[in-house]
């Protein structure tokens, strides 16, 4: 098997890369006029680094390994060459894009539809958490592009009559490292067995892990490697801080930071679904517009939460790592790692939700007495020591009474919510968005809870 070629800048053009970047347009890269117009309408004025590297090679028909940091325009780097090829040889079930999470699948679908709207491109999103029957009907219409999570795609390949990918021309694996980390290896192997060997394959990943290298050997033919940043790094305009605090005061410090940086929009990462839900209830009881996003919510609730946050109807999104990859929400000002990530690489992805596309942003990581080693690993990975986020400890402690009261009510609401779920299994999705949960509307004012609880 030939080793992938390194492709940093074409050998025959000795001028500096910076100058090349300034003069390049999508047309220079070989993208057809109708797609260049679509890029203009989306506000993509000039291609990003990964697009400059990958698009010309993809148009030449090469297999590609794209390594680029999050927020670097990877979707455009594979969507444009696929649509370009589709225009030349129109065909149904032309390309398959595999992604690790449902939200990312919907986001990629939006980009394909936006870029291909003038040429009538149809795409289908095939993910879990949504009715299989409607997906089978969408597949029966034979869309041009299928965007799927591996598990649900296998389900349809095995059970949906008449659906196969035997004519497929393009396979894309986006966030390949995450697909494999989520133990989709067996599903990916099954998919590779039922699609044509004679196809173009694009493998995009923020990090090159051993599993990704193994996949590359199995799935790609003589690939070209387009590495925009091979070192794990975070964007320059991102200000990163840490806060060393006792574990029992985490909630109080979170409330302090939300007050200090009021007016910004926040993404707060928690390690478990339960903690996400609890913290959302706690913040709501204190009058913040917080909304959760985690894996135990139904798909419609997850998309609902995401859309409310994207539309700026809510200023705080509390999420598990389901939202740390690939989601492009332009207006995130501050990322808070409420629970420190156990995998250092997840830190890069979490903080990559802010300071996207040239904007600036802040990231604050809470470090308790139990997290010191994990934090040192993160500093080692990004190659820098982080400064402490300045706080006034006496002001923080003044919030303790109100926060303790809100914690108590959050615990009660979680318990009631759990009991209600047991009683009515069929309505299990009802309270996923904590807006419907009991007592949520009651605010903690000056440490005293309003006596009257709202009925259901």
In sequence order, the β-bridge partners of residue 363 are 240, 335
Cα angle vertex 305, ends 301, 337, to 5°? 120
DSSP structural state of residue 26: T
Three-state secondary-structure class, residue 316: strand
pTM of the model: 0.63
pLDDT, one tens digit per residue, over 34-81 is: 999 999 988 888 898 889 999 999 999 999 998 876 667 888 999 999
Q: Whole-angstrom Cα distance, residue 37 to residue 118?
A: 9
In sequence order, the β-bridge partners of residue 201 are 171
How far, CA to CA in Å, does 401 sit from each of 74, 212, 249, 352, 445?
47, 49, 11, 34, 11
Arithmetic mean of pLDDT, 219-240: 73
Whether 55 and 81 have beta carbons less than 8 Å apart is answered as yes
pLDDT, one tens digit per residue, over 20-29 is: 444 588 999 9
Please tell me which of 2-16, 344-358, 366-380, 440-454 the model is most confident about, judged by mean pLDDT.
366-380
The set of residues, in sequence order, having a beta carbon less than 8 Å from that of 439 and lying 6+ positions away, is 285, 409, 412, 413, 416, 453, 454
Q: Whole-angstrom Cα distance, residue 134 to residue 108?
A: 19
Range name among 56-70, 394-408, 425-439 with the lowest pLDDT average: 425-439
Q: Whole-angstrom Cα distance, residue 209 to residue 226?
A: 16
Whether 291 and 316 have beta carbons less than 8 Å apart is answered as yes
Q: Whole-angstrom Cα distance, residue 343 to residue 45?
A: 36
* DSSP H/E element including 406: helix 400-423
Domains of the chain: 5-227 (3.40.50.300), 238-448 (3.40.50.300)
Whether 422 and 301 have beta carbons less than 8 Å apart is answered as no
pLDDT, one tens digit per residue, over 337-378 is: 999 998 887 888 888 778 765 567 899 999 999 999 999 999
pLDDT for res 281: 94
């Amino acid at each position: 098997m030939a080793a992938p070629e390194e492709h940093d800048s074409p050998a025959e053009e000795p001028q500096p890369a910076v100058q090349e970047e300034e003069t390049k347009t999508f047309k220079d890269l070989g993208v057809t006029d109708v797609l260049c117009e679509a890029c203009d309408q989306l506000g993509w004025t000039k291609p990003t680094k990964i697009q400059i590297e990958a698009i010309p090679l993809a148009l030449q028909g090469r297999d590609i390994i794209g390594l680029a940091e999050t927020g670097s325009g990877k979707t455009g780097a594979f969507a444009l060459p696929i649509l370009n090829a589709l225009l030349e040889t129109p065909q149904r079930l032309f390309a398959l894009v595999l992604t690790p999470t449902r939200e990312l699948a919907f986001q990629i679908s939006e980009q394909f539809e936006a870029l291909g709207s003038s040429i009538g491109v149809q795409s289908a999103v095939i993910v879990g958490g949504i009715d299989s029957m409607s997906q089978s009907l969408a597949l029966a219409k034979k869309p041009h592009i299928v965007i799927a999570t591996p598990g649900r795609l296998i389900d349809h390949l095995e059970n949906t009559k008449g659906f196969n990918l035997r004519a497929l021309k393009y396979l894309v694996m986006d966030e390949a490292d995450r697909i494999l980390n989520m133990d989709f290896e067996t599903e990916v192997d099954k998919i590779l067995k039922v699609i044509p060997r004679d196809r173009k394959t694009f493998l995009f990943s923020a990090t090159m892990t051993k599993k990704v290298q193994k996949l590359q050997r199995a799935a790609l033919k003589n690939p070209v490697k387009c590495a925009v940043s091979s070192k794990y790094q975070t964007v320059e305009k991102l200000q990163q801080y840490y806060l060393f605090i006792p574990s029992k005061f985490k909630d109080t410090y979170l409330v302090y930071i939300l007050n200090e940086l009021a007016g910004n929009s926040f993404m707060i990462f928690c390690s478990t679904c339960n903690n996400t839900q609890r913290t959302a209830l706690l913040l709501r009881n204190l009058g913040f517009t917080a909304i959760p996003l985690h894996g135990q919510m139904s798909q419609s609730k997850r998309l609902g939460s995401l859309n409310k946050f994207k539309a700026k109807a809510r200023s705080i999104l509390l999420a598990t790592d389901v939202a740390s990859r690939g989601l492009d929400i332009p207006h995130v000002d501050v990322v808070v790692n409420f629970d420190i990530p156990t995998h250092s690489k997840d830190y890069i992805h979490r903080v990559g939700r802010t300071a996207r596309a040239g904007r600036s942003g802040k990231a604050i990581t809470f470090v308790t007495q139990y997290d010191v080693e994990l934090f040192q690993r993160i500093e080692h990975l990004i190659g820098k020591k982080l400064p402490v986020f300045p706080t006034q400890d006496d002001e923080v402690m003044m919030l303790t009474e109100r926060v303790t009261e809100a914690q108590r009510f959050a615990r009660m609401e979680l318990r009631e919510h759990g009991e209600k779920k047991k009683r009515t299994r069929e309505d299990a999705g009802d309270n996923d968005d904590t807006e419907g949960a009991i007592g949520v509307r009651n605010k903690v004012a000056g440490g005293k809870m309003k006596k009257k609880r709202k009925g259901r």
